[in-house]
Amino acid sequence: MRLAARRAEHAAPPDSSESLDAMKACASAFERLRPLVFTAQEKCLYDSLALMAFLASEGLFPRWIIGVKTGPFGAHAWVQSGHTVLSDQHEYVRRFQPILVV
């Protein structure tokens, strides 16, 4: 993660349209390749960190978010750039209140 932080200092602004298009393309490739390496089912923390590392290797640095909900309690981690959710469905993550954004 330190390497990603250093690279992020020199990256394009995360909300630029060029950067967002590149993130979407990489996230789509990650989604297709992931089943060959691991299952993301019930593993949102690992999945989101793996996507962050994958995007960082491409010089892309979105936000990593952890959120919680009540009734019943739940926690979730996802990757997002601006208002665009890269690792999940917007309809699902909007149920969670972010408590950590990196």
Whole-structure pTM value: 0.74
Closest CA to 75 of 43, 40, 34: 43
- pLDDT score recorded for residue 71: 87
* Rg, the chain, Cα only: 13
CB atoms within 10 A of CB 4: 18
Rounded to 10 deg, the angle between the 17-37 and 44-57 helix axes is: 120
pLDDT in tens, 71-94: 899 999 999 999 999 999 999 999
pLDDT in tens, 10-51: 555 555 777 888 998 988 888 887 777 776 667 899 899 999
